[in-house]
Structure 1
Amino acid sequence: MLIEFLSGFSPVVQALLATLFTWFVTALGAGVVFFFKNVDRRILDSMLGFAAGVMIAASFWSLLAPAIEISESLGVPGWIPAVIGFLVGGIFLRLIDLVLPHLHPALANSEPEGIKTKWQRSVLLVLAVTLHNFPEGLAVGVAFGAAAVQGSSASIAGAVALALGIGLQNFPEGAAVSIPLKREGLSAKKSFMYGQLSGAVEPIAGVLGAAAVYYMQPILPYALSFAAGAMIFVVGEELIPEANSEGNSHLATTGLMLGFAVMMLLDVALG
């Protein structure tokens, strides 16, 4: 029913609707701040591990594997766009990481990263999560653009699975922003507003990704691989280190395994 509904729209609109959903789940996670003053660190680390697992699985099943398949159907060795796009995606995120001022929620007592600034810590906390929400939105948008190019309902199902997976792991991300903001002294309302705002970049990235691959089809396998590289960079740079920073590595690893399994299930079953 959902796939049939989405099939009636252009890929750009499909991507917009899907990323509005992922933004909404981010807001749900941020809403935790109205009910809890703090979240048990073990629970947070498990959820961060889960988010990492979802993103790793999505990077292969929803992005790299289709990129290789599409490349080979075009007569191009599958590894070329996959490797190039993947590495460029990671390099792109690294460059933004070096420039954009941000402060990771789990490392709120450390020094901010990026260029020096006098921005408030609350803004820097939001920017950290916004930084890795961009490739998530881009991945969803590129997936819907690819589905339109391939003209397959199965491809749309795969894009829907990716959006569901990204949405699932956005819940702990929303909480990971709003809770530290409340500890910084902000009211629950302001903490929620900042927390959900970190997901606002996803619809923007989703629309850009869908439009790019739909109207410039030759870049499709590179765009899919680019999104995968950007997401893996986020996993290695932020999610896994943060999930293990308080000594809860076993819980974080269990969360990662579950997240990978859930995303693999969604992608294979629906896609």
Structure 2
Amino acid sequence: MRYAERLQKRIDETGSRLCVGIDPRPGDDGIEAVPDFLKRLIDGTWEQAAAFKPNMAYFEAMGLRGIEILEELLGAMPKEVPIILDAKRSDIGETQKYYAHSYFSHWNVDAVTLNPFLGYDSIEPFLGWEGKGIYLLAVTSNTGSADFQRQQLADGRSVFELVTALGERAKAEGKATDAGYVVGLTNAAGVLAKIPDSPLLVPGLGAQGGDLADLASAGREAPDVINVSRGISYAGDERSFSERARDWAEKISKAYE
């Protein structure tokens, strides 16, 4: 089964497009409290999750123990839920080959985010993996996406359209790996009409203040997922992880009605 098919199956089974972001931040109890926190987060949200998205930066910030925690977490994840590793890696092809092996073979995640700005040969090592997916950074959710990604070229295209051209090339060449895109909800206005109908990973909802209206009205058929991280893990209210995940999943679903 291809990655996009598996993700669509999960969306159909749950009725949810919620991607639960996993961004652990050690508190006063220290790093050793993180595994229990993550277990409670996963246990409380997996039934509502179309996907989970661990962010490498938060685990790397905890040093070698953080990498161990991530490895332990990935081994204990519910098999029903696709895992998108948010790594945003970018390097020359030979180095990327080792990143691909690490993530897809060693850790066996389902998809990974990539920075495509080194060009097509830098994403090729990720394209020959059956059942796997990549998400290329197209239009990110930060204000700085205007510095490069949304700049207009002389031929009328925007820079992010050069990114989507890489994904469309992979599709045209019949690559085993499905290519999708990261499109931030905060910057989606005027962008979505130019994005191919391939899987999207959509950050920017919740704490970043993105609005679902543009995405919901775009008439897309691909299995897009909308990420919420802080709004579930660190909402600062009395609700459980499960209640927060259910509320976000319902809010997203209602926007699509």
TM-score range, shorter chain: under 0.3
TM-score normalised by structure 2 residue count: 0.26
TM-score normalised by structure 1 residue count: 0.25
The structure carrying a bigger strand percent of its residues is 2
The structure carrying a bigger helix percent of its residues is 1
RCO higher in 1 or 2 (8 Å CA, sep ≥ 6)? 1
